[in-house]
Structure 1
Amino acid sequence: MGNTNANSNAPPSPGRWTSSGQDAASKQIHIRTDQANGFYFTGELLTGSVEIPVAYFQNYLNNKNHRKAPDTLIQQLLSNDIVIELVGDAIYSAEVDAAADSDGHSQHQVNVCRQRCFVTLNQESARQSMPSTNQNETSFDQTTTTTTTVARSSDIQTSALPTAIKGIFQLQIPDDLPPSLFNNRPPSVSYTLELNLSSSRYRYQIPLVLSSKGPIPHPTTNVELNNNAINQHNIHLQASTTKRFYRPGEQISVRLNYLNPHQRLIRSITVTLIQFYRVHNDQYRLQLDGKEWTFDLSTMSPQREWVGETLLQLPYQPLQASYSNQSVGTTQRIECELDYRILIELNEKKGDDIHLLLPSILVTYQKGT
């Protein structure tokens, strides 16, 4: 047996983004979800909260130079529906005429989800957040955006006002959505929660990570997977795994052996765990784990038979479950799939290399029965 080397290139856990805004007040707008890491399964009920600083509405009123009483205007703003929307977009590239760009590809974006819900405001905090005309009077200089507050002579005490208006929301995540797929180039699938305010042209959003729970394993289908191949020099390579269904964080046992009747020189054998996904016709492969056996040809005699076994590591949550090929999209329909494959490569010194692909394993969050 040769030397065994290991390497891992598992995807990092996604980070949480802050809501986006354009000024000091809008940057204080917060969207929070009940899952701190933003990881959800399709079909789940998502619960969250929204916090909007009163200063945001005050800045809006100042910029608009309204002449109405501030409390009346803020009430009008709050009477409009505040909407939270789950937005999913798939990005992929397609081959076009070579004259289109430098590499003959064009990037496309297709919306795969738009699920809306309304924010229910905390009426008590909203009521208390209104400026009280019995305590102070706010006037707006029509030539500037500054605000001058004049306390009435009858005011002896003023109560501290809450700094933010709060609300809650619940959103049902649709079933059968493709999983989040992270990549710095197409293809990719991303989801965001977006807050829409009628008083703003900006979008305030945070990312979500979606996954299905995967296929449900059945006792009769959780069987050993195997495959074999023979090259022109009669080298026979065989490989197998102990089962088909796996959960995130599990190890995959891979057994392999070759028969080399003519004692050809073998340089190395590698086993690689690959996450494969496709959006439309755009494909991408990410190596999750891998092992390699190298053989010192200067000291080792060619072997007629060789046997090896190794463990490949699946990353933990939030690893996406396997997603069978499905057609998705709100206006345009495209196909998406997510698959996990094990590739075995035998490298012969002088001759025909062997590339062996095992049947796909299925990653699922369901427990076996």
Structure 2
Amino acid sequence: MTAIENTVISVTGGRDYNVTIGRGMIADAANPRGQFSEALGAGVNKVLIIHPPTLGAIAAELREALSGEREVLLAEVPDAEAGKRMEVAQFCWQVLGQADFTRSDAVIGLGGGALTDLAGFVAATWLRGVRLVHVPSTVLGMVDASVGGKTGINTNEGKNLVGAFYAPHAVLCDLDVLADLPRNELLAGFAEIVKCGFIAVPEILDILEANVAIATDPQSSQFRRLIELSIGLKARVVSEDFMEQGEREILNYGHTLGHAIEHAERYKWRHGAAISIGMVFAAELSRMTQNLPDEVVDRHRRIFESLTLPTGYPRGRWDTLLATMKRDKKARGSMLRFVVLSAEGKTSILNVPDTSILFTAYQEIAT
């Protein structure tokens, strides 16, 4: 299958690059006029493909397709958040160093959101920056992690506390790679799509509510539309605020509590499961502080439940979650900050000096 009918979304700020959405790009990787050749550009002599064990066969296929005038190496790293550790980054640096990678060479991040975070961090820090191409293999990776230039690894103190802003040179979203994605992982990725719907793009919510089974079918036109709408929103926001000094903060809707839940679960939960709870919490907080209508809060729960994503968390975990949120990178001194809604598509930042209101909102999602 060849790549046809590609959608190209441009991203500016930090570095101008394109996000290409289509099918057959990996199968067409050997084509000297294909998307991979264009993404890597001329003058790249060495390529390191960083990938998780589950994508070993695709990584090997890419390696064979891209080899020729280039030397292509593979670096297999742990899957999901287990790969976002300093020891794993050091392993990748070691591979780059032993193969004498220079600034004219490239890193390809092939995998989900955690993998592209790691690969981006490795590319950003090796020789202070080498060429980077993302090939996201999950819904989450396509609509969120691979676009925007946020890279990072986790520490014992929290998620993404060590990282850098480093824009990729290209992002290739091959929808065919989603064919074998486990259903629960595919649905977890929809949490970030739902987020885009509530903060800015109501069409997303309408598509999901019209027929969630069709909307979550990777072969459907509705599925592709949701991917394109979500990437389009993120491209617009990060183009205007690459370093997250203003509008880009809206993309953190639900993430402050969500990241704390991921930390509490030792990163064994899927990101989308934690973020869905975080968004219901943010909606409850918005109802208390911004008069967000009840029907919008209820719509959060209804949509997440239709995606079989969780909407509550144990009552006795609050103190642990609060301690983690206080270390969140979005906090300012002792002031916690939350993205809140006054209506669908109307966001603002809530500074919280008194955590009692947070505790009250948490009781609304506590199980």
Between 1 and 2, higher relative CO (CA 8 Å, sep ≥ 6) is seen in 1
TM-score with structure 2 setting the length: 0.22
Query: Whose helix proportion is higher, 1 or 2?
Result: 2
Select the structure of larger CA radius of gyration: 1
TM-score with structure 1 setting the length: 0.22
